[in-house]
Amino acid sequence: MNKKGVAIYLVLGTLFVAFVLAGVIVNIISSQGRLTQHQVSRVQAYYAGLAGMNLAMEKLRTNAWTLPSSGNTLVKTLCSSGCDVNDADIPYTVTITIYPLNEAPNGAVISGTAGISISVNYTPTA
């Protein structure tokens, strides 16, 4: 039997398997990178929302912002440019909605309080 060409087929087969495995590993690593970045963005947006809530409560406490009249809402936006607060550390649009006394977006309100709603778009604006 002539076995002179078997070695080249073994080498080519081994290289093919190695390239396929390398491609699978690169795909898994890039997917994990995207998922990690998405999760980091969500966590940053969560804390930007908390910062917006703290800012709203402080502005209302110090009378820098006044409660809106009945039937109206006060909307403030925090973002990295052209908004109420220009902070490069907040790359997300944070929208603060303040409702009048005894009003809330879902109707669940405690008497004598005003509802505050915070929404965050965690797609970076910059």
pLDDT per residue over 12-41, tens digit each?
999 999 999 999 999 999 999 889 988 888
- Rounded Cα distance, 53 and 68, in Å: 17
Backbone φ, ψ for residue 18 (5° rounding): -65, -40
- Rounded Cα distance, 69 and 114, in Å: 11
Residue 126 above 70 pLDDT?
Answer: no
In the chain, what are the domain boundaries? 6-121
Is the overall model pTM greater than 0.75, yes or no?
no
pLDDT of residue 90: 67
pLDDT of residue 31: 93
Closest alpha carbon to 122 in 98, 97, 95: 95
- The larger pLDDT score, comparing residue 112 to residue 81, is at 112
77 within 8 A of 86, measured Cβ to Cβ: no
Q: Which two tokens stand for residue 42?
A: 């969500």
pLDDT digits (tens, 9 = 90+) for 36-69: 988 888 888 888 888 888 888 888 889 888 888 8
Residue 125 above 60 pLDDT?
Answer: no
Backbone φ, ψ for residue 67 (5° rounding): -65, 140
